[in-house]
Amino acid sequence: MLDISKDLTEKRKTEHIRISLNEDVEGKNITTGLENYRFIPNALPELSFDEISLSTTLLNKQMRTPFLISSMTGGTETAYQINQQLAMAAQEKGWALGLGSMRAAVENEDLAYTFQIRKYASDIPIIANIGAVQLNYDFGIDQCRQAVEMAEADMLVLHLNTLQEVFQPEGDTNFSHLLSKIEEIANSLHVPVGVKEVGMGIDEKTADRLTSAGIQFIDVAGAGGTSWIQVESYRSNDSIRKEAAEAFLDWGLPTAESILAVRKNNFSTPLIASGGLKNGVDAAKSIALGANLAGFGRLLLPSAVENDVEALLVQMERIEFEMRAAMFGIGAGRIEELAHSDRLLKKV
């Protein structure tokens, strides 16, 4: 007997990858906001470039770099191949790795292997991933724990994707009374629990509610990069949704603004900046604005799809070099110094 739900999941995941690679899925008339900031150069940094350190910590876990490969995919054989490439590259460079939504694997153990990449990434932080809305669709502590154990993950992120679900043909749209359920997961799971958006950003009030509920880290995933409204519009056969997606081309809180908004009242909560970052200078700006880690997603996808680990490593090396060069250029020898630098100005 055919497993129709599995077939539909594989079709959706495959379409997401294809559309992200081949279609114009970035928002319009909206950017990350990072271009509105510039560093003041330090002509006399009193540093040796070779001594600049990118090492940092995330929730007491030592990291060689302040970078994350953001959540992308899983649930199909193609997705497994992508995750394998990403894991090998992340291990080589010392980046954290976020997994795509693991709902399908929790519901169907035959798909679990697509997220089981710890053997390729022995000591980097791995972040398991479940849609927060699934807590209203029969997911709870047991399913979240299963996802973490399946991936041998160091932490779990619950992703918020309200408008993606609204525009998704098969979307789950009951987001009512979620905060109390998020709080239960955060206070019961055996690993740190965080929350991320998927490209629309997190505002100040939402961040305050989440941290008050016990959430231990936040990934802003701001606007300026991939718009999942646009991705889903390419998948939809619903003419109303396809046309309505055009009204949301500039929807979201830009990444830079979201960093500042989350950090305003949450001074010690680990904060990940993702959403449209293009290079190591964007990453350096993000950390100077208040983030702890910088996440890169669709930028790395083409090399992963081509099973080209070497190309991935070259991209990651470039991003690292750009950040180190930016740090050298302002006289910051360590990530802590970059984070507390007074050399980032907003353009007038």
**DSSP characters for 242-299?**
HHHGGGGTT-S-BHHHHHHHHHTT-SSS-EEE-SS--SHHHHHHHHHHT-SEEEE-GG
Burial class (CB in 10 A: 0-12, 13-18, 19+), 237: exposed
Task: Give the global pTM.
Answer: 0.96
78 is in an annotated binding site: no
Mean pLDDT of 24-33: 95
226 is in an annotated binding site: yes
Contacts (Cβ under 8 Å, ≥6 apart) of 165: 133, 171, 172, 173, 175
The percent of residues above 70 in pLDDT, for the chain, comes to 98
Distance from C-alpha of 348 to C-alpha of 338, rounded to nearest angstrom: 22
Distance from C-alpha of 217 to C-alpha of 204, rounded to nearest angstrom: 14
Q: So what's the pLDDT on residue 7? A: 67
289 is in an annotated binding site: no
Q: So what's the pLDDT on residue 289? A: 98
Contacts (Cβ under 8 Å, ≥6 apart) of 311: 303
DSSP 8-state symbol, 110: G
Q: Examine the pLDDT at 1 and tell me if it is beyond 50.
A: no
Mean pLDDT of 176-182: 98
- Tell me which of 320 and 3 has the higher pLDDT: 320
Mean pLDDT of 162-177: 96
Q: So what's the pLDDT on residue 293? A: 98
196 is in an annotated binding site: yes
Q: Examine the pLDDT at 281 and tell me if it is beyond 70.
A: yes
Q: So what's the pLDDT on residue 92? A: 98
pLDDT digits (tens, 9 = 90+) for 138-152: 999 999 999 999 999
276 is in an annotated binding site: yes
Distance from C-alpha of 93 to C-alpha of 84, rounded to nearest angstrom: 14
Q: So what's the pLDDT on residue 10? A: 75
Confidence of residue 117 (pLDDT cuts 50, 70, 90): very high
Mean pLDDT of the chain: 95
73 is in an annotated binding site: yes
Q: Examine the pLDDT at 2 and tell me if it is beyond 50.
A: no
Among 5-14, 29-38, 75-84, 103-112, the minimum mean pLDDT is found in: 5-14
Alpha helices per DSSP H over 94-203: 103-107, 141-151, 162-167, 178-188
Q: Examine the pLDDT at 163 and tell me if it is beyond 80.
A: yes
72 is in an annotated binding site: yes
102 is in an annotated binding site: yes
CA 78 vs CA 307, 310, 320: distances in Å: 10, 19, 28
Among 2-11, 95-104, 141-150, 338-347, the minimum mean pLDDT is found in: 2-11
Mean pLDDT of 105-112: 95
The percent of residues above 90 in pLDDT, for the chain, comes to 95
129 is in an annotated binding site: yes
Confidence of residue 292 (pLDDT cuts 50, 70, 90): very high
Burial class (CB in 10 A: 0-12, 13-18, 19+), 152: middle
318 is in an annotated binding site: no
